[in-house]
Amino acid sequence: MNFLSVGNPKRFLKLVVVVFTALIIGLGLLVSPAQADSIGEEFDHAVLGNVKIKGEPIGGVRIMVEGPSYSAEVLTSDDGSWLIGVPTKDTYTVTLDQETLPAGIAVLEGGASQDVDLGLSDRVVKNFFIGQGERNEVSFFDQFVARLIYGINFGLMLGLASVGLSLVFGTTGLSNFAHGEMVTFGAVAALILGTVLQVPIWVAIPAAVILSAGFGWSLDAGLWKPLRKKGLGIVQLMIISIGLSLTLRYVIQFFIGGGTEQLPGFDSPKITLFGSVALSVNDLYSMGISIVAIIGFALWLLKSNTGKATRAISDNSDLAAASGIDVDKVVRLVWIVSAALAGLSGVLWAYFRPGIKWDMGTQILLLIFAAVTLGGLGTAFGALIGALVVGILVETSSLFIPSDLKYVGALVVLIGVLLFRPQGLMGRKQRVG
């Protein structure tokens, strides 16, 4: 196929870019701070409070609430009160924007961001202790370094999920939309083992990964292999994977419900690295586990016979089959490895978010796609690098754009890569047609 042969798109593209920029600027001009003291009153649950200093109310202070699937912000009214309605009984992070406090005033205890849990009641009051004090200004550099480390952590777990998707694409040509549910599966398996069955978490996590591997095996044995034998086209397979994704997603919701669940030990202590950069113990474990898993995976792909066979099939499936490689056997193994890595990624992500939700996999599916395309479709190591880029981009971009738009950057990158360098960062231009 030859995508670039018709017409000259550059002129159009320029126009498109100009129009789009104008639109964004236009929208930006319309934005001014909301002059409301309450928002989301139609919801059943709410977080509320009062901002006062020595009994004197402070108006116009920005309060933000961020939860797993919802975020909102208000300015306090003249009597210092504020209320933010929230849709679900989850744990929310309430942040008081210290920039909007009068000079010389700061949050004295607990920091400007604090968690509230709506588990027990419909309405929770959250007040901040503020007073005369040095505002604990976090320097931009510190924020950036912290975000960078979070980004690497997120990128690594994204990488675990991405290499699997990439391998499946490379060996079978399938863009698997159900890969997000394979991520959720790992987290849910760990949840059931760790909280319902009360297995110690250091047993529960490996067991969840093994269950994920078994899940991958059964998907290939029960669904994908028979469909390959049936000779369905890649578009058909893609839509079937969408059906599978819907099925699995709602089956998971069926069992764990619509709320957010936590794994044991999700609230680990923080360790200060330097300045104000702090990481939780879980983050450190998570990065360590990711790196070990990725090295193990790389050794398997590069050194073992099955790994070599996998790469041979990704390169040229027919040739590999003709030279005596049992393609079905290798593809089966690819599904197992892919599901195991996705499951591990789900467990780690459940600690990173934190929390397990029925649609958590769907939330990052497009980020996984972005990582895989960025690295070059079907190349496992490319997907890994793509994942790190996407992870860092997502985390650091929230320094510059509203945090509820942090995924947008990654999606724009995904589209951009497909448009201008469909072979990815690592892939090489190939002879087509």
Partner 1 sequence: MSNNDSPIKSTGLHIGEAAPGCKKTDPMLVIDHVKKSFGGLTAVDVEHLEIPKNAITALIGPNGAGKTTLFNLLTGFDTPDTGAWEFLGTSLSGVPSYKVAQMGQVRTFQLTKALSLLTVLDNMKLGSKNQVGESIFRALFPGSWRKQDAEIELKAIELLKRFNLDAKQADFAASLSGGQRKLLEMARALMTDPVLVMLDEPMAGVNPALTQSLLGHVLNLKKEGMTVLFVEHDMHMVRHIADWVVVMAEGKVVAEGPPETVMNEQAVIDAYLGAHQDTDLGVVTGRISIIDQEKDK
Partner 2 sequence: MDWGTIINNTLAGLLTPTTIAFALAALGLAMHFGFAGLLNFGIAGFMAIGAYGYAISVLTFGFPWWGGMIVGIIGSILFAILLGIPTLRLRGDYLAIVTIAAAEIVRLLFLTTAFTDVTGSADGLFGYNNAGGFTNANPFPPGSYGWGPWTYNSETLWVLTFGLGVLAVCVWFLWALMRSPWGRVIKGIREDEEAIRALGKNVFAYKLQALIIGGIFGGMGGIIFAAFANVSPGVYVTSITFFIWTSLLLGGAATIWGPVIGAVIFWTLQAFLSNILPELALAGILPVSGTQAATLRFVLVGIGLMLLVIYRPQGIFGDKRELTFVK
Q: Applying CB under 8 A, does 125 fall inside the site for partner 2?
A: no
**Triad 383, 179, 201: Cα angle to 5°:** 95
Distances (CA, A) of 111 to 20, 108, 320, 426: 39, 7, 59, 43
Q: Which is nearer to partner 1, 159 or 376 (CB)?
A: 376
Confirm if 245 and 177 have CB atoms less than 8 A apart: yes
Closest approach of Cβ 345 to partner 1, in Å? 34
Q: Are strands 52-53 and 56-57 parallel, antiparallel or unpaired?
A: antiparallel
Q: Which stretch binds partner 2 (CB under 8 A): 186-194, 274-282, 319-327, 365-373?
A: 365-373
Q: Which is nearer to partner 2, 223 or 298 (CB)?
A: 223
Binding test (CB under 8 A) with partner 2, winner from 18, 210, 302, 419: 419
Q: Which stretch binds partner 2 (CB under 8 A): 100-108, 138-146, 249-257, 296-304?
A: 249-257
Judged by phi (left if over 0) then psi (alpha if -120 to 50, else beta), residue 417 lies in: alpha
Q: What's the CA gap between 167 and 301, in Å, rounded? A: 10
Closest approach of Cβ 3 to partner 1, in Å? 11
Closest approach of Cβ 429 to partner 1, in Å? 7
What kind and span of H or E run contains 243? helix 234-256
Q: Which stretch binds partner 1 (CB under 8 A): 72-80, 252-260, 357-365, 425-433?
A: 425-433
Q: What's the CA gap between 186 and 183, in Å, rounded? A: 6
Closest approach of Cβ 402 to partner 2, in Å? 4
Q: What's the CA gap between 50 and 58, in Å, rounded? A: 9
- Tokens 């003709």 found at: 322
Closest approach of Cβ 233 to partner 1, in Å? 13
Closest approach of Cβ 419 to partner 1, in Å? 18
* Omega cis (within 30) before 354: yes
Q: What's the CA gap between 74 and 198, in Å, rounded? A: 41
Q: Applying CB under 8 A, does 428 fall inside the site for partner 1?
A: yes
Q: What's the CA gap between 359 and 253, in Å, rounded? A: 8
Q: What's the CA gap between 24 and 21, in Å, rounded? A: 5
Instruction: List the interface residues with partner 2, window 378-407 (CB under 8 A).
Output: 401-402, 404-405, 407
Q: What's the CA gap between 203 and 207, in Å, rounded? A: 6
Q: Are strands 105-107 and 123-125 parallel, antiparallel or unpaired?
A: unpaired
Question: Of partner 1, partner 2, none, which one sits near residue 3, judging by CB under 5 to 8 A according to partner kind?
Answer: partner 2
Q: Which residues 6+ apart lie within 8 Å of 64 measured at CB?
A: 71, 72, 73, 94, 95, 97
Q: DSSP label at 261?
A: B
Binding mask 1-30 for partner 1 (x = CB under 8 A): -x-xxxx-----------------------
Q: Applying CB under 8 A, does 430 fall inside the site for partner 1?
A: yes
Written as one string, the DSSP assignment of 356-368 is B-TTHHHHHHHHH
Question: Of partner 1, partner 2, none, which one sits near residue 246, judging by CB under 5 to 8 A according to partner kind?
Answer: partner 2
Closest approach of Cβ 14 to partner 1, in Å? 18
Question: Of partner 2, partner 1, none, which one sits near residue 10, judging by CB under 5 to 8 A according to partner kind?
Answer: none
Q: Which is nearer to partner 1, 26 or 433 (CB)?
A: 433
- Report helix, strand and coil shares of the chain as percent, to nearest 5: 55, 15, 30
Question: Of partner 1, partner 2, none, which one sits near residue 175, judging by CB under 5 to 8 A according to partner kind?
Answer: partner 2
Judge residue 227's burial from the number of C-beta atoms within 10 Å of its C-beta, 0-12 exposed, 13-18 middle, 19 or more buried. middle
Binding mask 51-90 for partner 2 (x = CB under 8 A): -------------------xxxx-------------x---
Question: Of partner 2, partner 1, none, which one sits near residue 198, judging by CB under 5 to 8 A according to partner kind?
Answer: none
Binding test (CB under 8 A) with partner 2, winner from 105, 148, 152, 246: 246
Q: Applying CB under 8 A, does 18 fall inside the site for partner 2?
A: no
Q: Applying CB under 8 A, does 231 fall inside the site for partner 1?
A: no
Query: What count of other Cβ atoms lies within 10 Å of the Cβ of residue 281?
Result: 12
Binding site for partner 2 (CB under 8 A): 1-7, 9, 12-13, 16, 19-20, 27, 30-32, 34, 39-40, 42, 70-73, 87, 175, 227, 230, 232-236, 238-240, 242-251, 253-254, 257-258, 362, 366, 369-370, 373, 401-402, 404-405, 407-408, 411-412, 414-415, 418-419, 422
